[in-house]
């Protein structure tokens, strides 16, 4: 099923266990992490790929989704990657449960929704800078 997400441009798909370790990651997710293949991410966390401040926020979101069982749908945020990235994504996360109903991790995706080009109105640039 993961291969289907590789067919969608600008969609990063991921699955993490309760400890925040990657269990699955598609090609776009690998690009955000700066790696070539999913194998390089398995067992690692956001802390291994992103600035600490960002990784901490991602982990807080994951913990909230797992503890409350309330998903996050289409939250607009700056894309993972280097600080100052001109990309915005809509991120969604859901709790994943085993057959007994125990939360065992999260699944989610980020859809790239905006890319700021040179010469774009300064108001949008201000919004991006605020998000960072």
Nearest to 4 by CA among 23, 26, 24, 22: 26
CATH top class, domain 2-131: alpha beta
Residue 67 has which token pair?
Answer: 């503890």
Over residues 6-23, the pLDDT tens digits come to 677 778 899 999 999 999
Q: What's the pLDDT score for residue 127?
A: 63
Q: Where are the domains of the chain?
A: 2-131
Percent pLDDT > 70 in the chain is 77
Rounded to two decimals, the pTM is: 0.80
């Amino acid at each position: 099923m993961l291969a289907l997400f590789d067919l969608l441009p600008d969609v990063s798909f991921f699955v993490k266990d309760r400890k925040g370790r990657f269990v699955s990651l598609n090609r776009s997710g690998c690009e955000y992490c700066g790696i070539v293949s999913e194998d390089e991410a398995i067992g690692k966390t956001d802390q291994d790929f992103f600035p600490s401040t960002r990784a901490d926020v991602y982990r807080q979101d994951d913990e909230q989704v797992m503890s409350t069982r309330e998903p996050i749908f289409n939250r607009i945020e700056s894309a993972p990657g280097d600080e100052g990235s001109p990309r915005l994504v809509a991120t969604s996360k859901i709790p994943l449960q085993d057959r007994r109903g125990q939360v065992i991790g999260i699944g989610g995706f980020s859809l790239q929704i905006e890319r700021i080009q040179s010469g774009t109105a300064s108001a949008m640039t201000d919004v991006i800078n605020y998000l960072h």
